[in-house]
Chains A and B, each alone.
Chain A
């Protein structure tokens, strides 16, 4: 029974993936199938695999390269993304990044609505007395990101929370990132509030 169900699921997934199995970016045809297993056929992500749709292409590219070089090192990065990017050349990383960035993102909307106002205040103003910087200064007024600074708006609460916690736990993303310093003074209630607010930003 279980086997049959798995077989059905596999067939269904294959059917869903087929139309987007290749991305045409520039003149190269890039296989995106491996990405969609975890990040979803429309690249909107699941709880722990973040949304790639609408993400900044320069950010996606630097992160793919960082996974391949084993610099980005949180547990799930090691478990999934190190092998997923092992054979990915620089041009393929650029093409995948360009492809996913063009898909319109949908907001996760999975935050706690009661915390969203507090989260917005921290996002826009920081908490100067606690040495917490305003996210707005780098990630932009609508959390849309710029260049290799990621879009945060609409990512899932789970993912945002995990990433903000991981900075304080000593994990890395790219060399020279200011985020370990930025996230260090954040208390868990403030992380909850930011993750909740950002999950609703379109």
Chain B
């Protein structure tokens, strides 16, 4: 009887230990992910819709998971130059990178707005038809007619106007740095061939897309 009782106690202890060893790391991983999401959202907006700080922080909501993962790696590998994001991304494990990216892809807040609206009709035309005389293809050809992107091609819909202007005007100074292969090279000639006012028009247009 007593040996049966002690056996039961041991089994209970074993079950408890097994349960703890399984549930604790899962719980703490979920806690870590939530804490890291809160950290991302302090700058990128409480719904991931983007935020205008001293610098424009891009919208992450609805962004393609592959694109987000590739950019977080690009910051660490210095393919994309951004001192703040290099520090941020350096502290992320591979599983955290995919957890964060997956979370943001599934958010869908309204666009943050705030772009000058007068250039939007011209932007729509460039987005849908490109600028054949300037060798600029239609944005929609790769980013989709809804601007939602696919895989490593980013979503543009609802992106912050100031962020879009900043990226397109400074493309080759920030992206595709170093010697590693970087998919951003695809955009370099297109960004280069657009004038400031054409860039502003496209940025205003995509910022309104849901």
Report which A residues bind B (CB closer than 8 A). 125-126, 128-129, 131-134, 136-141, 145-147, 149, 176, 178, 181-182, 184-185
Q: A126-B88, A137-B54, A140-B54 are in contact. List 13 more A-B contacts (CB 8 A).
A: A128-B88, A131-B36, A133-B42, A133-B43, A138-B43, A138-B53, A146-B54, A147-B52, A178-B43, A178-B51, A181-B42, A181-B46, A185-B39
- Whether the pair A136, B42 counts as a contact (CB closer than 8 A) is no
Instruction: For residue B150, give the distance in angstroms from its CB to the closest CB of chain A.
Output: 29
State whether A137 touches B46 (Cβ < 8 A).
no
Residue in A closest to B91 when the chains form the complex, CB atoms:
A128
Say yes or no for B84: interface residue by CB 8 A criterion: yes
Return A136 CB to nearest CB of chain B, in Å.
7
Partner of A134, one of B35, B46, B52, B87: B87
Annotate B74-90 by CB proximity to A: 1 below 8 A, 0 otherwise. Answer: 00000000001001101
Most chain A C-beta atoms within 10 Å of own C-beta, residue among B35, B41, B46, B53: B53
Question: What does the 1/0 interface line of B49-74 toward A look like (CB < 8 Å)?
Answer: 00111110100000000000000000
What residues make up the interface of B, taking CB atoms closer than 8 Å to A? Answer: 35-36, 38-39, 41-43, 45-46, 51-55, 57, 84, 87-88, 90-91
Contact of A133 among B35, B39, B54, B55 (CB under 8 A): B39
List 25 A-B pairs, Cβ < 8 Å: A126-B87, A132-B39, A133-B39, A133-B42, A133-B43, A134-B84, A136-B54, A137-B53, A137-B54, A137-B84, A138-B43, A140-B54, A141-B54, A146-B53, A146-B54, A149-B53, A176-B46, A178-B43, A178-B45, A178-B46, A181-B38, A181-B41, A181-B42, A184-B38, A185-B35
Chain A residues lying within 8 Å of B45, measured Cβ to Cβ, are: 178
- Closest chain A CB from B110 CB (angstroms): 13
